[in-house]
Structure 1
């Protein structure tokens, strides 16, 4: 706890960003369609997760709110770095996936929320950044996120369901990008590491991969 406190206590926090995210969602959804998994204990920074259940969509949404409290350490020499400093993450879910009233709750799907939160914290813990095409693994040994799944990592993708009106939150000269996370099996993650993002993207297109999460998705390399 002290280690995290020392690391983050002198960072600049953009405390207006969570409110901007809330206002942004109000443009698209009714308050009755949105619930929040509030974070109770936070060793570093406050990270909530929105659960959006709209009758007009055939999917639900989990969306982080808090990753953009801090700016990421973008790669030197990147063109227009100010457009990449802030991000939040989402995953689209089939309607049948449900959660408890709080997180964690012991629900078999808790690992999905945990995956989102761990990914959102990663760039700030390791002074790096996340953007489209980046991959992360659940553990150093590529073990699954949970005993409930075979997914061992993920890739950051642009949404194909939503356009920039939803995936870019503009605040003065700042932009909060909303990226989609797409969980990967071990061989898929290894394939991306060996062959690059475009090669993995080709496999996604070839298999007609869907943005909405599938617990038992067909392997892209089979």
Structure 2
């Protein structure tokens, strides 16, 4: 039987198998079990990546958090003097309450592209021997097409959460901290603006527009 090329690529990588349980225990410190749904990945050609959805009735939003990105160490470049704080990460998105998903196994549901966006972003650094940290941007496709016909979002920027404190967004692990970064979708012109002018210029736009961290299908442009 032929071996999937992604399986071959990851066969000899070191997996930090304790990290998913650490993520699960970390989320349990902040949210009750009955508030949590897990979107399970049934087939993983590279590494297993699930997504938690937390629905806390006392909050005005739901939260998506990946579990599995930190199974592997990211390739932090040598220009970073202290690599230790940047080696491991998980990602999150904050969603309005009215966004729903079809079931715990994602597929072709109307909003499943949001979960797929999160998972594609989480896989990127491991597929390309790279890394993700605050200020980094990714585009949905090489031609900057939208993530789905239902949206005009064509990329994302990695941000520090303004909704959660550091005790949630950083968790301790024996091999180094696991950061939980916030994923903020971008329109094409916004992504081009960041590439041309840098993260700080985009951040200024976010502040000027008082942009919320909560996902919005029809968010006003930052430009």
Shorter chain as normaliser: what TM range?
over 0.9
Q: 1:38 aligns to what?
A: 40
Show CA shifts across 1:114-150 (max 9, x none). 0000000000000000000000000011100000000
* Correspondence for 2:21 among 12, 19, 27: 19
1:21 alignment partner, SS class: helix
| In 2, Cα distance between equivalents of 1:78 and 1:211 | 28
Matched with 2:63 is: 61
Contact 2:39 2:50 in 1 (8 A): yes
Residue number among 116, 133, 153 corresponding to 1:131 in the alignment? 133
2:110 to 108, 113, 118: 108
Q: Give the CA deviation at 1:6.
A: 1.2
Contact 1:103 1:110 in 2 (8 A): no
Instruction: Give the deviation of 1:173 after TM superposition.
Output: 4.8
User: How many aligned residue pairs are there?
Assistant: 221
User: Are the counterparts in 2 of residues 92 and 212 from structure 1 also a CA contact under 8 Å?
Assistant: yes
Runs ≥4 in structure 1, deviation > 2 angstroms?
A: 102-106
Q: Is the 8 A contact 2:37 2:104 kept in 1?
A: no
Q: C-alpha separation between the residues in 2 aligned to 1:127 and 1:173?
A: 19
**TM-score, with normalisation over the residues of structure 2?**
0.97
User: Is 2-11 or 197-206 further displaced after alignment?
Assistant: 2-11
CA–CA distance in structure 2, aligned partners of residues 3 and 33 of structure 1: 37
Larger deviation, residues 168-177 vs 38-47: 168-177
Compute the RMSD of aligned alpha carbons.
0.9
Q: Secondary structure at the match of 1:153?
A: strand
Aligned to 1:75: 77
Counterpart selection for 1:141 from 140, 143, 146: 143
Alignment counterpart, residue 197 of structure 1, candidates 183, 188, 199: 199
For residue 177 of structure 1, give the secondary structure of its aligned residue in structure 2: strand
- Cα distance between partner residues in 1 of 2:28 and 2:191: 36
For residue 77 of structure 1, report the CA deviation from its aligned partner: 2.8
Partner of 1:220: 222
Query: 1:143-182 alignment to 2 at 5 Å?
Result: 143-182=145-184
Equivalent position SS for 1:171: coil
Q: Deviations over 1:62-100 (max 9, x none)?
A: 110000000000011313201100000000000000001
The yes-or-no answer on 1:91 pairing with 2:93 is yes
Tell whether the 8 Å contact from 2:153 to 2:185 is kept in structure 1 after alignment.
yes
Cα offsets for 1:40-59 (capped at 9, x unmatched):
01000000000100012110
CA contact (8 A) 2:42 2:105 kept: no
